[in-house]
Structure 1
Amino acid sequence: MQNFKNHARYYPLHHFVITPLTLVYLIWSLTNLGEAIRIGEGISMEIYHLIGAIILILLPLLSRIYALKNQDRIIRLEMRQRYFELTGKSFQETEKNLRLSQIIALRFAAIEELLPLMDRAVTEKLSAKEIKQSIQNWQEDKRRV
């Protein structure tokens, strides 16, 4: 059962393989460039490797950013739909008073506690962490990025 303590997700291939390897390659390339500058040979080849390392480190980061931005848009749409189903009203006015992080945190609240928790989030300016800690009936989301 998902809850506040275990809801964070890691994608092993991204977090523990690709990203560390690209960091190692970047550090290795910087070290080799420094050595090439020190001895005065092969500088252009090491700059070439450094450019490749920078590109390789940006690719997984960019793909993660794109996926998270898309996920955020989907969560906004989901919350707009849930709010409309519960109230028959547009989420637009309430949404203006919430930060994206709060909306994302509210996504985990079950139907029966969503509206009261949303009101508390607006009036008490609860942080995302405080919202998540306040949830009694956690709505799982095991398909997040």
Structure 2
Amino acid sequence: MENQNFKNHTRVDPLFHYVLTLFVLGTLVTSLVYFFREWSDGGSVLLACVLFLAAGSILILYVLVRMYALKAQDRAIRAEENLRHFVLTGKLMDSRLSTGQIVALRFAGNKEMPALSQRAAEEGMNSKEIKQSINDWRGDYYRI
């Protein structure tokens, strides 16, 4: 696997991000087309409504599954990075740091992480600025 850096650290799962997204959106569009056809033809509007509600439910489930997984990963990263900061400095991370900043700091090597976390808290750096400031990139090969 290629070493991670700022330019290639984002990850995509093709089955989720492309195939499933296409299927979910296709199901929603198809249910809408079916609903309007049945409405204009005076057909079974009840079945069309049920299919649309099912497609809408699948879309909501699709979004929530992704959000919940990312929140769980963010919580784990927050705990890991707080522990790493404590091991390196003997102090917990600055409470001003947001979860997004801490998630970005996970890419910083041990030597620059404490100083960069302090700078991020003081300057209010966003996650992109933090990642761009990293000289010793530490890859995260498990997050998707």
- TM-score, normalised with respect to structure 1: 0.93
Among 6, 9, 14, the alignment partner of 1:7 is 9
**Which structure is higher in helix share?**
1
Query: Is residue 14–residue 60 contact of structure 1 (8 Å, CA) maintained in 2?
Result: no
> Where in structure 2 are the equivalents of 1:75-90 lying within 5 Å?
75-90=77-92
Question: Counterpart of 2:105 in structure 1: which amino acid?
Answer: L
| Map of 2:18 onto structure 1 | 16
Alpha-carbon separation, structure 1, partners of 2:138 and 2:64: 29
Identity of aligned residues (%): 42
3-state DSSP class of the match of 1:37? helix
Alpha-carbon separation, structure 2, partners of 1:65 and 1:121: 25
**Matching of residue 101 in structure 1 with residue 103 in structure 2:** no
User: Relative to structure 2, which stretch is displaced further, 133-142 or 31-40?
Assistant: 31-40
| Map of 2:38 onto structure 1 | 36
**Matching of residue 74 in structure 1 with residue 73 in structure 2:** no
RMSD: 1.0
Alpha-carbon separation, structure 2, partners of 1:42 and 1:4: 53
Shift of 1:58: 2.0
Work out the number of aligned pairs and report it.
Answer: 142
Gaps of 5+ in 1: none
Shift of 1:20: 1.1
Query: Is residue 75–residue 104 contact of structure 1 (8 Å, CA) maintained in 2?
Result: yes
Alpha-carbon separation, structure 1, partners of 2:30 and 2:104: 39
- TM-score, normalised with respect to structure 2: 0.94
| Map of 1:125 onto structure 2 | 124
Shift of 1:38: 1.3
| Map of 2:64 onto structure 1 | 62
